[in-house]
Structure 1
């Protein structure tokens, strides 16, 4: 059995193509069942985000081309259309790729944490579609453990590397508690929207969105719990702001020195923190000379981001070392399956029985049975399945007088003889 990772991402394919072969959650459920129905495909998971679409499959030897062929057909593409954009990783390389994806080492923003949640969502969809068996189930659990260890043992996600998040973090450093701050956002583009989301997560006391098109400002303010104003009303509200973050496409400064001086007087010299992300500038350069105003520009943020990127790159090298060790550990477990290790065989059979009975118990819940009834069914049926073969073989051994098997079984099921080997 071969393990395969096949897909395309932000490095190999343009956005219009990524959009075309993306899978929504509902589509992915049906697609998973279709994919494992292909000849030679035994397990499958689909990971689909704005930056990547990837298929992770266990396939029979010789069936490696099947997932790529299926991907073309599913999206009604002519054969070979995706070939120049697709990458493929086999066995250990596929394991390594999954670990790197889940830890953010393969992301557009190095070390970003959102991808791990997206991998977990993809895993849950595959479980619901019943397209995972013991080998890939083990791989996914191993992946989550590796990602947790990388986050714990390295500083891969310690420092912000996006402009919006860096702006908010600088504001947090100036105001230890953002819950008491009023924030004025000037603009309503992507960077300002990201900043608004971070600020909403930080539960700022008040959020004001100012934009030339008031409807756009209202839409953003509604999503983030703020309120909207037009740019023409900026002077009336500037004094309310403890923090100002600006990013528009204006060719001339929107916030001038006289406006800020008037706002500071109205604030009775209470300091104001300002971040100008725009190029050309939205906040006039001479605002930096106003007493009690702390103005940061995109160049100031870039210095912070560059330093943080260097820190993440150093952490990424540590993460790669962790990943290499864990790839070998998973592949050793997988090789043991191929060698017919009796312990692994026992576990594999038990896990197969567990998955089957769990699916049937979940079906009972879906049909309206109570949780107590479903749990009782799961416990009784799983116990019977696990004990059926050993019990039948022991009865047969007793009838034919096979004392060696009976003694071996006694030793096998003796708790006092068990060893505490967590790697088995």
Structure 2
């Protein structure tokens, strides 16, 4: 039984190629079933995200070239384009790769948690498509268990490694729970979208997006059920905001010290938290001189992020140790399946021998032969057949002086007594 993982990711392929081999949700079920049929594998799971497309499968035999050819044919592209950008892992390394991916150890952002949810979704889709056997079901459940252990026993995901995430973490540190906080986001670019995403995950429901172009602000606001205002209304809106995060391309500050001072008076000096992610600055540095205003710049946050990245790297080293141990644990379980199959085959073999001899003994009894003689002959023949294979193995091991093998055979067959007595 071969376990194989084949794919491309952000390290090996361009965005263009990753987009061309991505699987849309509406075609995933048919792709899984086609993969099982055309490549002749017992199980198949497809993980398809913006940063990676990976195919996991197992069966008695399959070549990576065949899988690449199928992947290329399914997407209507040249297999040559994929071959030079893909990676392949087999057996232990395939198991290790899946677990590392689930733990966020192979992600663009080290330790990011989203990938685990994406793998769980891929597993559920394969389950629904009927392309999981017992071994693969156990493999993916094992990967989920390891990812949970890594999250709980290391600091791999506890620290912010983007300025957007760091900004929200700082706000949480100052205000505690953020559910009741009112947030003003100035700008409507990618950074503000990411900030809004993290705020929503923290339970923030009151967000206002201010932007020079109101139409762009509305695009961002719709995704988070936020309000929108033009930049000109920022001074008026400022007093309502507990948290202000700004990231625009403006060449001049948008929020000044006087504007904040007026807002604080209207708020009766309830504290305000400011994060300026813009270069050049959106918020005047003098704002930090006000007693109830807390201002952090992109440089402040970058220093936090740099420290946290190093923290995650140290945690990743600890995580790799856990992964190594749990990969070995899975393979011990996999090896035990070979023992189960061996016992089953041995029992079947003995049953066939017994039935053949029993059929002959019954025929002898029907013909009138002495029952005592028939039973004795049956017992002797049956015991001789059972002893034939082990006896031959013992004699060969003895001739070749394989004392360790002899000791193992004695233990397996539960042979007691002096080895020299024979």
TM-score bracket, shorter-length normalisation: 0.7 to 0.9
- 1:62 deviates by 5.1
- 1:22 deviates by 0.8
Counterparts of 1:57 and 1:297, CA distance in 2: 48
Counterparts of 2:345 and 2:287, CA distance in 1: 72
Contact kept, 8 Å, 1:8 with 1:52, in 2: the verdict is yes
Counterpart position of 1:279 = 279
1:133-172 equivalent positions in 2, closer than 5 A:
133-172=133-172
Q: Is the aligned partner of 1:86 residue 2:86?
A: yes
- 1:139 deviates by 0.8
Q: Deviations over 1:335-354 (max 9, x none)?
A: 344566446989xxxxxxxx
Counterparts of 2:268 and 2:60, CA distance in 1: 74
Counterpart position of 2:174 = 174
Q: Is the aligned partner of 1:295 residue 2:295?
A: yes
Counterpart position of 1:118 = 118
Counterparts of 1:237 and 1:26, CA distance in 2: 44
Counterparts of 2:189 and 2:317, CA distance in 1: 34
Counterpart position of 2:195 = 195
Counterparts of 1:229 and 1:79, CA distance in 2: 50
- 1:301 deviates by 0.7
When the two structures are superposed, what TM-score results if normalisation uses the length of structure 2? Answer: 0.79
Q: Is the aligned partner of 1:218 residue 2:227?
A: no
- 1:302 deviates by 1.1
Counterparts of 1:3 and 1:289, CA distance in 2: 62
Counterpart position of 1:105 = 105
Contact kept, 8 Å, 1:40 with 1:63, in 2: the verdict is no
Q: Kindly tell me: are residues 148 and 205 of structure 1, through their superposed partners in 2, closer, same or farther at Cα, counting changes over 3 Å?
A: closer
Q: Is the aligned partner of 1:132 residue 2:132?
A: yes
Counterparts of 2:153 and 2:204, CA distance in 1: 31
Partner-residue secondary structure (3-state), 1:38: helix
1:304-319 equivalent positions in 2, closer than 5 A:
304-319=304-319
- 1:283 deviates by 1.2
Q: Kindly tell me: are residues 272 and 37 of structure 1, through their superposed partners in 2, closer, same or farther at Cα, counting changes over 3 Å?
A: same
Q: Kindly tell me: are residues 343 and 171 of structure 1, through their superposed partners in 2, closer, same or farther at Cα, counting changes over 3 Å?
A: farther
Partner-residue secondary structure (3-state), 1:179: coil
When the two structures are superposed, what TM-score results if normalisation uses the length of structure 1? Answer: 0.78
- 1:162 deviates by 2.0
Q: CA RMSD in A?
A: 2.7
Q: Deviations over 1:247-275 (max 9, x none)?
A: 11222222122222222232232221100
Counterpart position of 1:52 = 52
Counterparts of 1:116 and 1:12, CA distance in 2: 21
- 1:35 deviates by 0.8
Counterparts of 2:8 and 2:343, CA distance in 1: 37
Contact kept, 8 Å, 1:200 with 1:225, in 2: the verdict is no
Counterparts of 1:39 and 1:184, CA distance in 2: 54
Counterparts of 1:338 and 1:76, CA distance in 2: 40
